[in-house]
Amino acid sequence: MRAFATRWLTGDERTLGLVLATGLLSIAFFRLDKLRADLGVAPTPDLPLVTVLVATALAWWSMLPRGFVWLDPPTLTWEDYGALDRERLVARRMARGWLVRQLALGYLLALLAAIGSVPVEWTMAGAAVVLAAGALAFTAIRLAPGAPRSRPPGSAAGPMPGEAIAVAGFAGFAVVVRPGTWLLFGLAAVLVGGALRTVSRTRRPHVSLAGRVRLVDGWRDRVLRTSGLQFLDLALLLPAARPVRVRTLRAPTGLRLAWLGILGRARHLATAGLLALAAVATHHAFPALLDEILFALLGYLALVPLGAGLGELWRSPGRRRWVGRSDLALRLDNFVVLTGLAAAWAAFVLGAGLAGPGWNPTVLLTIPLMSACTIRTVTRVPPTYDNPASVDTPIGSIPLRLIAQTVRGPDVGLLALVFLPVVPVAVGAGVVAVVVGFCLLR
């Protein structure tokens, strides 16, 4: 608490930022009527809680790669002999990330309960599950996932198979069963029992005891992430592939190469599944949301990590020449493979949502749209900073050219989504065809 006060309550710009953030977050509770009109109100109180539970699964899934385990090599070389407590530093970083997610989930639960007028007993049951899941997640992430291994830059250490199954099972149970209050309290008890067992019976070392190899690997991944965000170069955020079983690249070479790129990033299929469950839960909880926008947005986010193979190929003209196919042919090959993957994702979403209100049939038109936007995203050229085309606004200078380079991909997709809900199906199909052609040619 003293460290928090020293850092955030000193009256400087951090304090101002904290006050502004608190004010912005509280505004939503004074605009509940407008939020109900824009988002809709769920017919039963269990649906908002299902959304919170899926968000809980996504929050803890984001911590399982243990991205907080890092330390830069100079520090390890010159300050690691009594001047630096690396174990305490990593442990505090882990606790800080866990606490931020816990507070965000608490805010989400309070907001959705207020929008949906959820009864007190339902809200208490949801809070119990969120706290219990947080306890289990904390006991899981504090343990080292395994022995260090060599891996390419950008391919952060993923969760263990048991952890992935637990998170996916938790989210799937919430969406399919839609538990009541007593079942939610029972689930919370099971999660607390799992947390206690993890603490008492595991023999894996604490994650803060990571060695130099894992710490430097984590630092390398963090450098890529922070550089991509600071320089608005999203190509640095695309995940690298893991080695897969050797396969020949005989004809059709482009299609096989696109499929191998997905297999090398198969660890992100679990993320795509969680996003599919999030689409179902959000669709049930907010019936006034446009189906096309929700469906296409989450599908696009699920596809981008899996389509990073084309982005890695695009950053190296030499590799493209080695493949021996034109740029348009490579885009077409990846479009075919990604559209098949998008269709499988869409089938999963539609199948998981059969128990609730149906989707608008026009969401099927967004399947080729999300794959085309993914290809446009990963084939972007490196950003240039010589002429950002800055424009002065009341909130400061905005570099329009850099922003245009950053939103390449979703930009034309959003233009298509403006028309899909309001035009006939035939016209919407024509709009999608035009956008897909533009993405493949440009």
The 10s digit of each residue's pLDDT in 93-104 is 889 999 999 999
pLDDT attached to residue 365: 92
221 with 269, same domain: the answer is: no
Nearest in space to 167 (alpha carbons), one of 237, 267, 264: 267
113-127: pLDDT as tens digits: 999 888 999 999 999
- Cα 56 from Cα 123, distance rounded (Å): 15
**Averaged pLDDT for residues 335-340:** 94
Q: Looking at the structure, tell me whether residues 53 and 170 fall in a common domain.
A: yes
119-154 b/e with 16+ CB inside 10 Å = b?
eeebbebbbbbbbbbbbbbbbbbbbbbeebeebeeb
Between CA 128 and CA 120 the distance in angstroms is 12
Give me the pLDDT at residue 153, please: 46
Binned at pLDDT 50, 70 and 90, residue 204 comes out as: low
| Residue 388 resides in a domain | no
264 in the same domain as 160? no
Mean residue pLDDT across the chain: 85
Q: Are residues 216 and 270 located together in one domain of the fold? A: no
Q: What is the mean pLDDT of residues 416-439?
A: 90
Region 239-251: mean pLDDT is: 74
pLDDT in tens, 3-58: 655 666 666 677 777 788 888 888 888 888 998 888 888 888 889 999 999 999 99
Identify whether 248 is part of a domain: no
Q: Which amino acid is at 197?
A: R
* Same-domain status, 226 and 257: no
Q: Are both 370 and 431 inside the same structural domain?
A: yes
Residue 213 domain flag: yes
Shared-domain flag, residues 354 and 218: no
H-run or E-run covering 390? strand 390-393
- Say if residue 150's pLDDT is above 60: no
Residue 23 falls within a domain, yes or no? no
Q: What's the structural domain count of the chain?
A: 2
In angstroms, the CA 402 to CA 404 distance is 5
Shared domain check, 325 and 215: no
**Residue 217 sits in the same domain as residue 271:** no
| Residue 238 forms part of a structural domain | no
Q: Is the pLDDT of residue 190 over 90?
A: yes
Is the same domain home to 306 and 225? no
Asked whether residue 417 is assigned to any structural domain, the reply reads yes
**Full residue range of the structural domain in which residue 183 is found:** 36-230
Where is the domain boundary, 230, 264, 298?
A: 230
Percent pLDDT > 90 in the chain is 36
The mean pLDDT value for 172-197 works out to 91
Question: Who contacts 124 (Cβ-Cβ below 8 Å, separation ≥6)?
Answer: none
Residue 359 lies in a domain: yes
Residues 60 and 163 in one domain: yes
- Please report the pLDDT score of residue 40 as a whole number: 87
Tens-digit pLDDT profile for residues 357-395: 788 889 999 999 999 999 999 998 877 777 777 777 766
Domain match, 295 and 356 both: yes
